[in-house]
Amino acid sequence: MDGKIVGVTGNLITAQTDGAVVLNSVAYCCRSDGARLMAEIIRIRGSELDLQIFEDARGLKIGDTIEFSGELIQVTLGPGLLGRIYDGLQNPLPELAEKIGTHLKEGNYLPALDERVMWSFTPVVEPDAVLTAGEKLGSVPEGIFDHAIMIPFGLAGDWTVKKIAPAGEYTIADEIAVIQSRDGEERSVSMTQKWPVKIPLNVSIRRLLPTEPLTTKVRIIDTMFPIVRGGTMCIPGPFGAGKTVLQHIISRHAEVDVVIVAACGERAGEVVELLKEFPELIDPRTGKSLMERTIIICNTSSMPVAAREASVYTAVTLGEYYRQMGLDVMLLADSTSRWAQALRELSGRLEEIPGEEAFPAYLNSRIANFYERAGLLLLKDGKKGSITIAGTVSPAGGNFEEPVTQGTLKVVGAFHGLSRARSDARRYPAIDPLDSWSTYPGIMDTESVEELRAYLREGNEIKQMMAVVGEEGTSVEDFVTMLKAEFFDAVYLQQNAFDEVDAATTAERQQLVFMTILDLVRMELEVESKDEVRDTMVRASELFRNWNYQAQDSEHFRKTQDEIKEFITRKGVAL
Ligand SMILES: Nc1ncnc2c1ncn2[C@@H]1O[C@H](COP(=O)(O)OP(=O)(O)O)[C@@H](O)[C@H]1O
Ligand SMILES: [Mg+2]
C-alpha cells in the first residue's frame, strides 16, 4: 500500500492514500531520480495525510509515490554510541566538526553504528536461563564502562535462552543469542536493537523518588540550589550570560557516568564551536577526552525542522538506554528554545490554532513530557540508573515571562536563572542567588544556607539604597552587612570556570569552606570606621580567594586555612 503526493508546501507534503497508516511513523517520498526522502506522518485526516519531510523537498512533484514503513522514528542502540556526534535523526556527522555545510546527500542515510567494528563479548547467562526484556545476556567493554547487552526492550513475557554465543569477538550484526518465548516463538538477538524515540524507554521494577544530591562541583548550585540524580533543572538566561559555559563545566565535573549533549544551535556557528571545543574538554575522571563518555546530538537552524524537533527525543532515548545499564546519565539540552521554535514552525505550517506567542497550545505538555523522561529507576537486577535533565532556555531579551521558560518552570525541580546584571559585572556563574530555587535536598544544611541568603537579600537592599544616599548616608552596621554579603558572593558564589582548581569544588570542600564563611559572617567585627570594615573585608576576600585556588590536599590549602582561622579570631568576637 502506497500513497501519492498531492501537494508540496515547503517541507510539508500532503498526500493521499486509501490504506491505514500510523501517525508519527516514517514514510519515504520517492523522487523521480530514485532518491527516497525520509518523512514523518504528522497528521491524518481521512485519506489525506500531512508529512514533514526531513530534508529538502526540492524535486518532489505531484503524483510521486510515498512508501509507508509503518515504523515510528527510532534510534539504533548498541555498543559504539559513546564518542559519536549525530544529527537529530542519528545520522553520524563525523565531517561536521571540520566542515559545517557538508550536507549528506539527500536520500542517503548513514548507519548510526559501524557494523564492521568487532566487540569483545562476554556472556553472563547459560542456556536455559529465563529472562525478561532489559535483562542482561552479556557485556562488552565500551570506554570505561561495561556495555550491557540486554534482551530487547520491546519483548513481553519470559524468554528462555536457547543459544548463547561463547566469549569472543563479534560485530553488532552477529547473532549472540537465540531466545524462545513461552509460545515457542524463537528470536535471534544481536548486540543492537531499535527503539522509537517518542516512547519513553523504561524497563524497570519501579521509578524511585530522586533524593540523592548530584554534585556538579559548581558551588552556587550544590550549596544553594542543588540538583539530584534523576532530577530536572532549567537554566534560562539571555544571550552571552554563560549558559553554554555552565553546561560544559557541569558535563565535565558532575558525578555522572555518561553525558549526552543535545546542542540546538541558536546559530550554526555555535554548534561548530561546540563541536570544536567539546572534544578538547578533558575528563577529570580519566585524564582523557571527555568525548569518550559523551554523545552529542547536534542540530542547527539550517537543518530541517523535523530533525530539530526530533533531536531532544533522540538524545533522551540514548540516555535512557545507558540508564538501563545501571549508569547515571546527564542530559544537557542547549537550548530548548530552539526546539520549541521547531515545534512552533511545524504547528504554523499545519495552520493549527496558535497559543501564546504563536507557540502551539500543546507546548507545555510537550515540555512536560520531555522532562518527565528524567528519573531514577530501580532496575531488574537491583541496580539503579538515572537520567538528570538540564535544559537551558534562551528567551529573547532575557525575559523569563515567556512561554518556554514558564512552561519549563512548571515541571522542573530546580531553576538556575542567569542574570544579565551579574554576567555584565562578570560575576560568573551568573546564576541569580536571589531569584533561583531548588526543591531538592542538597549537601548543606538548609538553615545555614537560608541564613546566608538572608544576608544576600539584605545586602542587596542596602546596596540599592546606598546608590541613592551614598556611603555617608549608610550606617556602619548596614555597611558591614552589605560587605559581608559582597564577600560571600565574591569568594564563594563566583567561581572561575577556567581555573583548574577553582572550576570544580568537591562536596567535602564546599562544606568546609561554606562553614568557615558562615563563621566569619556571623562574627561581630571589631571595627570602628567604614574604612576599617572595608580593609578587613578586602583582606578576608583575598585570603578566601587564595584558598579557592588551592587544591584541598595541598600544604598551601592548610596554611591558608590556618591564616583564615587566625584572622577570624583576631578580627571578630563571636556573637
Ligand atoms: N563560569 C564562567 N567563568 C568564566 N567566564 C564565563 C563563565 N560563564 C561565562 N563566561 C564568559 O561569558 C562568555 C559567554 O558565555 P556563553 O556560555 O557562551 O553564553 P550563552 O551560552 O549564555 O550565550 C564566555 O565566552 C566566557 O567568556
Ligand atoms: Mg550558548
What DSSP assignment string belongs to 96-147?
TTT-TT-PPPTT----SS-TT--EEEEE---TT-EE-TT-EEEEEEETTEEE
Residues of the chain with pLDDT under 50: 97, 99-100, 102, 104, 574-575
CA 392 to ligand 2 center in whole angstroms: 9
pLDDT score at 106: 57
3-state secondary structure of 476: helix
Residues ≥6 apart with Cβ < 8 Å to 504: 217, 249, 252, 253, 284
Task: Provide the pLDDT for residue 573.
Answer: 55
Closest atom of ligand 1 to 237 CA is: 22
pLDDT of residue 11: 82
What is the pLDDT at residue 94?
Answer: 66
Ligand 1 pocket residue status of 216, Cβ below 6 Å: no
29 within 8 A of 45, measured Cβ to Cβ: no
The pTM assigned to this predicted structure is 0.92
* Domain 446-573: CATH class, spelled out: mainly alpha
**Ligand 1 centre from 243 Cα, in Å?**
7
State the distance from the centre of ligand 1 to the C-alpha of 11, rounded, in angstroms.
Answer: 35
**What separation in Å is there between the alpha carbon of 443 and the centre of ligand 2?**
28
Check whether domain 76-112+204-438 has CATH 3.40.50.300, yes or no: yes
Please give the distance, rounded to the nearest whole angstrom, from the Cα atom of residue 540 to the centre of ligand 2. Answer: 34
Mention every residue, 6+ apart, whose C-beta is less than 8 A from residue 271.
Answer: 100, 263, 265, 298, 299, 300
Query: Which residues of the chain are in CATH 1.10.1140.10 domains?
Result: 446-573
> In this structure, which ligand is nearest to the CA of 247?
1
Q: Which CATH class is domain 119-191?
A: mainly beta
The pLDDT value given to residue 111: 85
| Protein residue closest via CA to atom 12 of ligand 1 | 242
Pairing status of strand 437-438 against strand 524-525: unpaired
Distance 531 CA to ligand 2 centre (A): 41
237 lines ligand 1 (CB under 6 A): yes
Q: Are 91 and 104 in contact (CB under 8 A)?
A: yes
* Ligand positioned closest to the Cα atom of 498: 1
Nearest ligand, measured from the Cα of 240: 1
Pairing of strands 85-86, 294-299: parallel
Pocket of ligand 1 contains residue 244 by CB under 6 Å: yes
Ligand 1 close to Cβ of residue 567 (< 6 A): no
Domain with CATH 3.40.50.300 in the chain: 76-112+204-438
pLDDT for position 191: 98
Cα-only R_g, the chain: 27
Q: Which ligand is nearest to the CA of 269?
A: 2
Instruction: Specify the ligand 1 atom closest to the Cα of 247.
Output: 17
Give 345 Cα–ligand 1 centroid separation in angstroms: 29
Distance CA 418, CA 392 (A): 10
Instruction: Give, using CA atoms, the residue closest to atom 15 of ligand 1.
Output: 242
Q: Amino acid identity, residue 275?
A: L
**What is the pLDDT at residue 482?**
94
Out of 245, 277, 426, give the residue to mutate to test ligand 1, the one with the largest number of ligand atoms within 8 Å of its CB. Answer: 245
Q: Whose C-alpha lies nearest to ligand 1, atom 23?
A: 240
Ligand 1: nearest atom to the Cα of 266 = 23
What CATH code would you report for 2-72? Answer: 2.40.10.170
* CATH 2.40.50.100 segments of the chain: 119-191
Neighbours of 380 (CB within 10 A): 18
Ligand nearest to C-alpha 261: 2
Q: What is the reported pLDDT for 575?
A: 41
C-beta 242 within 6 A of ligand 1: yes
**Range(s) within the chain of domains with CATH label 2.40.10.170:** 2-72
pLDDT at 105: 52
What spacing in Å lies between the alpha carbon of 198 and ligand 1's midpoint?
32
Residue nearest to atom 11 of ligand 1 (CA): 242
> Which sign, positive or negative, has the C-alpha torsion 171, 177, 180, 186?
positive
Exposed/middle/buried for residue 467 (C-beta within 10 Å: 0-12, 13-18, 19+): exposed
